Amino acid sequence: MSGDHIRWTFFASIALVDVILSHFVGIRIIIGPWFLTLSICLVIVYAIYRIVRPNVHLAELSSAAMQYLALGWSLTVLSCLVAAFDFPLIDSTLAKVDAALGMSWIGVFDFVRSRQWLNNILGIGYDSILPQTVLLFIWLNAAGRFQRIYEFISLSALTLGISVAVSAVLPAAGAFVTYDVLSLVKADYISLFFGLRDGSITELPLSKVGGIIQFPSFHTALAILLSYAARNVRLLFPIFAVANAVVISATPTMGGHHFADVIAGAIITVATIGAMRAYQRRVSRDSMTSVADAPPLSTSTNAVTSIPPISATRVVQSAGRTRA
């Protein structure tokens, strides 16, 4: 089974889980015409440049876009549905972990808030994930590095899937709630998060779906994955390395994450990358072994060795006849 088939099977499975779970928790998922229109447009673009007017770059770009959108919507919807399980929040534990590590969230928050220039830089950095993703897809596609794009999508799917599973049993409302600073920040996820938990939200339009996972931090995960996807790419990697260092630095104060959220997100992401690299090495090793174990090309060898030698005398005689 190819990588594309595996990814689409995974996304379809998550979508099926979304449908089943939505009935279980009593939340109706509203797709909306814009979603269907966008999906149809992407399929048409893919079909045109794959079949009608073949263009490998545009075909691969549209394919990657479809897969990434399927990943985002299916798993983000699942993260909202599992919030309805209403398991006990672990924010107090996360705050204790921060304290044990010698980190004061409110101290850092006050420091950033008192310096508008720093607050602005961190805010811009925190919101750069989507532009970075678009730039990554376009850059790698133009360079013909299609597999690197699909590697990023696969790693994102695995990391977000793990994050959703963790958030289902270990939910957190975030540091904004823990330290009571909601009046000072913009935290749109709060009403969605608590509405899902208390059952007041019974309809979930895809247009209103957003990230509500606090523990572990998926913003941290994406920052690491974007930098990893840009490795060995001249110009792009240094830009992403700096930009995502800002993203991770901004995650506690801009995203309302405990420091423990950031650490957990980084651990999960690094472990996922390690597992992917081990899998890739195994596949590469198995491929090399298969080639090494292949039988010798005896037919071709016999054909070559069966050709009779041509003597110098015959060559001279033939040349003489030609001149005559």
Instruction: Tell how far CA 25 is from the center of its chain.
Output: 27
Identify the weakest region by mean pLDDT among 12-16, 99-103, 204-208. 204-208
Instruction: List the beta strands (DSSP E) in the chain.
Output: 28-30, 203-205
**Contact yes or no for 276/174 (Cβ under 8 A):** no
- State whether the Cα torsion 118-124-126-132 is positive or negative: negative
* Rounded distance between C-alpha atoms, residue 53 and residue 72, angstroms: 29
User: In the predicted model, is pLDDT for residue 49 greater than 50?
Assistant: yes
Q: pLDDT tens digits, residue range 90-135? A: 999 999 999 999 999 999 999 999 999 999 999 999 999 999 999 9
* Rounded distance between C-alpha atoms, residue 74 and residue 157, angstroms: 10
User: In the predicted model, is pLDDT for residue 301 greater than 80?
Assistant: no
Quickly state the pLDDT bin for 287 (edges 50, 70, 90): confident
H/E element, 179: none
User: In the predicted model, is pLDDT for residue 278 greater than 60?
Assistant: yes
Identify the weakest region by mean pLDDT among 185-189, 231-235, 257-261. 185-189
Rounded average pLDDT over 121-150: 96
Quickly state the pLDDT bin for 293 (edges 50, 70, 90): low
Average model confidence (pLDDT) for the chain?
89
200 phi/psi in degrees, rounded to 5: -75, -20
What is the reported pTM?
A: 0.86
What are the sequence ranges of the domains in the chain? 3-288
**Can you spell out the DSSP letters for 54-105?**
--HHHHHHHHHHHHHHHHHHHHHHHHHHHHTT-PPP-HHHHHHHHHHTT--H
Identify the weakest region by mean pLDDT among 184-188, 254-258, 269-273. 184-188
* Rounded distance between C-alpha atoms, residue 176 and residue 185, angstroms: 8
Quickly state the pLDDT bin for 306 (edges 50, 70, 90): very low
Q: What's the pLDDT at 307?
A: 44
Rounded average pLDDT over 251-278: 97
Quickly state the pLDDT bin for 3 (edges 50, 70, 90): confident
User: In the predicted model, is pLDDT for residue 311 greater than 60?
Assistant: no
**Can you spell out the DSSP letters for 138-169?**
HHHHHTT-HHHHHHHHHHHHHHHHHHHHHHHH
Q: What's the pLDDT at 47?
A: 94
User: In the predicted model, is pLDDT for residue 203 greater than 60?
Assistant: yes
Task: Report how far apart the first and last C-alpha atoms of the chain are (Å, whole number).
Answer: 65
Quickly state the pLDDT bin for 271 (edges 50, 70, 90): very high
Structure tokens at 309: 């030698």
Rounded average pLDDT over 190-209: 92
Share of the chain above pLDDT 90, in %: 79
Quickly state the pLDDT bin for 176 (edges 50, 70, 90): very high
Degrees, nearest 5: CA angle 306-310-316: 165
